[in-house]
Amino acid sequence: MAVSTVIFALRAEDGSAPSLWTPFVRRTREPHLDQWALPGGWLPDAEPLEAAAARTLAETTGLRPSYLEQLYTFGDVDRSPTGRVVSVVYWALVRSDEVAGAAVGNNVEWFPADHLPDLAFDHNAIVDYALRRLRTKVEYADIAHTLLGETFTLAQLRSVHEAVRGHPLDPANFRRSITASAEIVETGERLAGTPHRPPKLYRYRDFTRAAGAPAETPTPTEKTRTLS
Amino acid sequence: MAVSTVIFALRAEDGSAPSLWTPFVRRTREPHLDQWALPGGWLPDAEPLEAAAARTLAETTGLRPSYLEQLYTFGDVDRSPTGRVVSVVYWALVRSDEVAGAAVGNNVEWFPADHLPDLAFDHNAIVDYALRRLRTKVEYADIAHTLLGETFTLAQLRSVHEAVRGHPLDPANFRRSITASAEIVETGERLAGTPHRPPKLYRYRDFTRAAGAPAETPTPTEKTRTLS
């Protein structure tokens, strides 16, 4: 048994629009030596699933998201060439400043989530599945909140919608749909550090999520919800 | 590693309103000898996860739902007294006629989902989690379709909403909310076999679900979607 983690973060390359990126770790042993793979590792007998996912993620990528959500358990009998491995896969969204703050090893590299290299095992299928889940999430409030924080400009919010949906949105239409919805309100403040006409900051009117609670599905017990 | 399955079906006892019931299997060995437990068993090395869940479900309860959806993987280190067991749990809704058609062994008994006996292992927590997931499902269309079939009377549809939510609904208000929504339409037919003023049959206007696709979340690969 193994655990793996899919991480999504927003990243803008060379002044282009932000898109979703995800980190992989170069394998240092067979099978799939030198190929990129999801951060993860074997499940020790005495370690809770989520704790093992968090530990292996931190050890390889330096990332320490405030919580991990269980995504799916992958157990096809032929997914590893060296015998049956069942992998419990977790996922999390992280903000860019969490990425920047993480000490990163030599063997880690980030790739655009929709232009992946040829990954080890069935990890391409796993990331594709995570992307589909993210794109069919009903609540963008959770996604935006996690990627942007409490307040954001309309341009930042649009960049999240664009990155998740994978295509650009018309700025004027987006602004109209947001200001027409009662969900998102002005905070009365403006973005700091922008000298000329700083853009307004907005927030979700009723954003409530229990601290540490997964965005989509409550985990079954307190125990599995707390990272040790 | 083990697999288990939570099954929900509608059942009306003694002329009362239908509610959700779920089957358990009496354990014939230690630990938890003679206690009720979810249908399930060990995962053989060469069997896909969902196939193992389907097989153990059929062997113990005679039930063969058209598909099983992966619910969650439970892996607390102390959930079994005899060493660490990670259980991949599947779930399904089944129609009453599927329940009636299943040959049932001596060691199976159905219980109301919100009045469970003291189950083996952490199975009470697992069923509670499945109930919460069912109750927070956004789409009642999937639930009603699976439990009732293509067409249904308003009273039948209300009984599904009542059973899932766990409390009665005002019939007049329910009728108003349904006829006001464009989602549910009259079929033009009436329930057969009711001699006097047979009630009208309704259906979801745009009900589309890929055959065999899970109600909530698409499974990642064709392979895991097909019961062998």
At residue A194, the pLDDT reads: 72
Q: What is the pLDDT of residue A207?
A: 67
Whether B173 and B195 share a structural domain: yes
Model pLDDT, residue B138: 55
Query: Do A88 and A169 fall into the same domain?
Result: no
Q: How many CB atoms lie within 10 A of CB A125?
A: 17
Cα–chain center distance at B222: 22
DSSP sequence for A6-51 = EEEEEE--TTS--EEEEEEEE--SSSSTT-EE-SEEE--TTS-HHH
Q: Any chain B CB within 8 A of the CB of A228?
A: no
Instruction: Please give the pLDDT value at position A210.
Output: 38
Confidence of residue A225 (pLDDT cuts 50, 70, 90): very low
- Please compute the mean of the pLDDT values over residues A32-56 and round it to a whole number: 96
Task: Examine residue B217 and state whether it is found in any structural domain, yes or no.
Answer: no
Q: Answer whether residue B194 shows pLDDT above 80.
A: no
Check whether residue A112 and residue A199 sit in a common domain: no
What's the rounded mean pLDDT across residues A49-60?
96
More confident residue, A194 or A63: A63
Residues of B in contact with A49 (CB under 8 A): 73, 75, 86
Return the ∠ at Cα B178 (arms to B176 and B180), rounded to 5°: 65
Q: What CATH number does residue B76 fall under?
A: 3.90.79.10
B193 — alpha (psi -120 to 50), left (phi > 0) or beta?
Answer: left
Instruction: Determine which of A45, A69, A73 to mutate to test the interface with B (most B C-beta atoms within 10 Å).
Output: A73
Q: Do residue A81 and residue A47 come from a single domain?
A: yes
A94 and A156 co-located in one domain: no
* Confidence at residue A223, expressed as pLDDT on a 0 to 100 scale: 37
pLDDT for residue B197: 85
- Within 8 A by CB and 6+ apart from B66, the residues are B212
Please indicate, yes or no, whether residues B99 and B114 belong to a single structural domain of this protein.
Answer: yes
Contact B189, B173 (CB under 8 A): no
Q: Tell me: the pLDDT tens digits for B46-101? A: 999 999 999 999 999 999 998 899 999 999 999 999 889 999 999 999 988 888 87
pLDDT of B217 reads 43
Percent of chain B surpassing pLDDT 70: 88
First to last CA, chain B: 20
Cβ neighbours of A70 in B, within 8 Å:
72-73
Number of domains within chain B: 2
Pairing between β-strand A87-94 and β-strand A2-11 as defined by DSSP bridges = parallel
Would you say residue B116 has pLDDT above 50?
A: yes
Q: What is the pLDDT of residue A208?
A: 59
- The region of weakest confidence among A20-29, A74-83, B185-194 is B185-194
Parent domain of B173: 140-204
What is the rounded CA–CA span in Å between residue B125 and residue B94? 21
Q: Phi first, then psi: what are they for B54, rounded to 5°?
A: -65, -40
Q: Closest residue of B to A73, CA-based?
A: B73
Residue A222: pLDDT over 50? no
For residue range B204-213, list pLDDT tens digits in order. 887 655 333 3
- β-pairing verdict for B200-204 and B184-190: antiparallel
SS3 (DSSP) at A54? helix
Q: Is residue A223 within 8 angstroms of chain B, CB to CB?
A: yes
Contact between residue B114 and residue B166 where contact means Cβ atoms under 8 Å apart: yes
In a domain, A49, yes or no: yes
B128 burial type by CB count under 10 A (0-12 exposed, 13-18 middle, 19+ buried): middle
**pLDDT reported for residue B101:** 76
